[in-house]
Structure 1
Amino acid sequence: MFRNFKIDLRLIKEIDKTMLISMMLLILDGVLNIYLCTKGNYGLSFAKQQFSWFILSMIALYFFVAIDYTIIFNYVPVFYWGSVVLLLLAKIPGIGVVVNGARGWIRIGGFQLQPAELAKLGIILMLAKKLDEMDGDINNVKNFFTLALYAAIPVVFIVTQPDMGMTMVCFFIVLGIFYTSGLDIRIIGGGLISLVLAIIIVWNSGIIASYQKQRFTAFLNPEAADATSGYHLTQSLIAIGSGGILGSRPSLKLEGTTGYAAQNVPEVQTDFIFAAISEQWGLIGALILLTLYGFLIYKMITIARTSKDIFGSVICIGITSYFLFAILQNIGMTVGLLPITGITLPLISYGGSSLLTTVMSLALVLNVGMRRKKIYF
């Protein structure tokens, strides 16, 4: 039974060590900064929970690297439809839990699971499987609408939670896959127009609460926004500015708060952790963080280009698209260049479901890279 989960030691040398090390450093950096920005009010609580998810993620990493990704191909529908069922369950009162105005969580024991995180990976895997079966012929009308339907099913449930941040993530994942798969640019243009129309309809449908709308538009003029909607961004900018070049040299001692962001920026351990990092470690710390992300993304693109099949290549493209959009959106909203959407910083922000599924995703990329060429013994 466990034979398929035993890694051939001769495959280990094929694993992309730069990508693996970058991922590990980012996760540990996240745990450290979660501790620093929450220790004043919560002690070790948040950091311990994140570290527990880190250990669980490493176990998942092993299994997702050990088994040949071509075997996973056959189980993609189970994972995809399973994530859709979880999205449905999250909408049932008593099973689903409301967090920040969205019924998008399921409580399991002492932990909370966000099904949308699994659905995000499910979309990538299903599109990769279908494109492989279609030999990459995405411009065939039947093929295109089949792919679009599989992408749309989970997104409909995510929109109605409502979770506009995750909806945007899923859209840009699909856009990245469709574009790199050679979809006619006119169809992509039509899709973008459709997205704008869909946003207008949802915006005026009553699904999105007024406070969420205010928070979304506050970046246009945070000084003029009211105390609630513009507060997050204003405090974030103050914290980033106070970090300077070298940062505030945070204390690792458990006693006392660490910095302005820890005391004044709401959701600092999740949505706005970049503000805490910039304050505590300055411009240098922020650049180191971006450099690690750069290594990770470059390696993912390289593996996508050299994959031995369409399935592996599309998996890498989808995960790369997620990273690019999430990093740009999170940092952009933190510095006031983009709307505040609640999209977290991959591998860094607090959140067990997000960390677990992100590590699982990267494990699949490592898996594709390990098996992209025939090994002769």
Structure 2
Amino acid sequence: MLKKLKLDSRYIKEIDFGILICSILVLLYGALNIYTVTRSKVGIYYVKLQLIWLVLGLVTTYIILLVDYTLIQNFTSLLYWGSVLMLLATRIIGSTVNGAQGWIALGNRAIQPAEFAKLGMIMMLAKKLDEMEGDINNPKNFFTLCFYALIPMLLIVVQPDMGMTMVCFFIVLGIFFTMGLNIKVILGGIMGLATSIALLWNSSLIKPYWKRRLTSFLNPEAESLGIGLQATQSKIGIGSGGIFGTGAGLGSSSTSYVSQFVPESHTDFIFAALGEQWGFVGAIFLLILYGIIIYRSINIARTSKDIFGSVICIGLVSVFLFSILQNIGMTVGIMPITGITLPLMSYGGSSVLTNYIAIALVLNIGMRRKRINF
């Protein structure tokens, strides 16, 4: 029994430890920044929970590495439809957080099914593309892929969770583009999306609060005491960090500006905390860690032994690229505020766990891309 729980040393040598180490460093870096903005109110409460999620994420990673990802592929449909059912469940028993009915309470904790649906969608698209042998420009294949992508996206739209919907769209766009979809089809899809957004914008699905939140970045100072408060205060906090940061919030008696004046500074606006604490140098350090994860994941995608593995890697890269751009962009006022978390940096159990599941799959794909003789 114990032998089944032990990873063969020949596989261990093939693990991309660069991705794993950088992911741990990002999370620990995030935990430190979470501490600086929450310690004056709740002590180490959020930091402790975040570290617990790190341990659970690493345990989950190890378990996934024990199983050949081609065997996991056989359970893709179960994982996909299971996540869809979870999204449907939010319509009945879901809790509303920040205007979106997208959480399911489990005792005094809650999970966000959309995070798992995002992962399920990536795996289902990878499975179907593998079965199609990558022939994405076949009309039947293309519409089949769109069908599986639209189901979770529509269920996320009606929550409404605009941020996660955008993430899912860019996952699909990244996969379709990388797999060689005709550029005319991609442009047509973007135009169709723009039309859909225009229709949704004038429907009752998007509430006035969301419209103001999405457009406030264009002129946050006009509503600096209302919907534009986060963006305005976030920019002040980041700007105060300068080159090397203020270090406020690290001392026993100091309190950071961001912790006092930026709502959601431990989740959506964690980059504002980083900017104030560590400045430009600290921000560059984070981007280097992200760059290593993305670069190495792309290399694994390029050398994967099958399409299923390549597409999963592309999906992770798409999630990281867009989430990083959108989250940092909204904290510095160049992107709309959408509630997208910064991968592994922001506080959140569902986000941390699903990110580690995705990273584990990428590591699994990388360690099994070569034939190993036993």
- Counterpart CA distance in 2 for 1:21 and 1:357 is 17
Return the match for 1:260 from 257, 262, 283.
257
Alpha carbons 2:248, 2:254 under 8 Å: kept? no
In the other structure, the counterpart of 1:109 is 107
Instruction: Give the SS at the match of 2:226.
Output: coil
How many pairs does the alignment contain?
374
- Once the two structures are overlaid, the 10-residue window that deviates more, 331-340 or 119-128, is 331-340
1:227, CA displacement in angstroms?
2.1
What do you get for the CA RMSD once the two structures are aligned?
1.4
- Counterpart CA distance in 2 for 1:134 and 1:66 is 27
In the other structure, the counterpart of 2:320 is 323
| 1:146-201 C-alpha deviation (Å, 9 max, x unpaired) | 00000000111100000000000000000000011111111101110111111111
1:33, CA displacement in angstroms?
1.0
In the other structure, the counterpart of 1:57 is 57
Instruction: Give the SS at the match of 2:171.
Output: helix
In the other structure, the counterpart of 1:15 is 15
Percent of aligned positions with the same letter in both sequences? 60
| 1:13-49 C-alpha deviation (Å, 9 max, x unpaired) | 1000111111110011111111111111111111111
TM-score by length of 1: 0.97
- Counterpart CA distance in 2 for 1:4 and 1:322 is 32
| 1:321-362 C-alpha deviation (Å, 9 max, x unpaired) | 110000001001111111111111000001100000001101
- Once the two structures are overlaid, the 10-residue window that deviates more, 112-121 or 333-342, is 333-342
1:252, CA displacement in angstroms?
3.8
- Counterpart CA distance in 2 for 1:47 and 1:11 is 33
| 1:96-140 C-alpha deviation (Å, 9 max, x unpaired) | 111001100001122210000000000000000000000000011
Give structure 1 stretches of 5+ with no counterpart.
none
Partner AA of 1:338 in structure 2: M
- Are the structure 2 counterparts of residues 64 and 257 from structure 1 closer, same or farther at C-alpha, using a change threshold of 3 Å? farther
- Counterpart CA distance in 1 for 2:250 and 2:215 is 36
Instruction: Give the SS at the match of 2:220.
Output: coil
Partner AA of 2:259 in structure 1: A
- Counterpart CA distance in 1 for 2:295 and 2:255 is 33
1:349 aligns with 2:366: no
1:171 aligns with 2:174: no
In the other structure, the counterpart of 2:240 is 242
1:89 aligns with 2:89: yes
In the other structure, the counterpart of 2:215 is 217
| 1:45-67 C-alpha deviation (Å, 9 max, x unpaired) | 11111112111111111112221
TM-score by length of 2: 0.97
- Counterpart CA distance in 1 for 2:219 and 2:3 is 58
Partner AA of 2:53 in structure 1: W
Give structure 2 stretches of 5+ with no counterpart.
none
- Are the structure 2 counterparts of residues 307 and 4 from structure 1 closer, same or farther at C-alpha, using a change threshold of 3 Å? farther
- Are the structure 2 counterparts of residues 155 and 3 from structure 1 closer, same or farther at C-alpha, using a change threshold of 3 Å? farther
- Counterpart CA distance in 1 for 2:246 and 2:261 is 16
- Counterpart CA distance in 1 for 2:37 and 2:5 is 38
- Once the two structures are overlaid, the 10-residue window that deviates more, 205-214 or 232-241, is 205-214
Which aligned segments of 4 or more residues in structure 1 are displaced greater than 2 angstroms? 1-6, 250-253, 255-258
Q: How does 1:3-82 map to 2 (within 5 A)?
A: 5-82=5-82
Alpha carbons 2:103, 2:110 under 8 Å: kept? yes
1:251, CA displacement in angstroms?
4.7
Q: How does 1:183-222 map to 2 (within 5 A)?
A: 183-222=181-220
In the other structure, the counterpart of 2:138 is 140
- Counterpart CA distance in 2 for 1:330 and 1:310 is 30
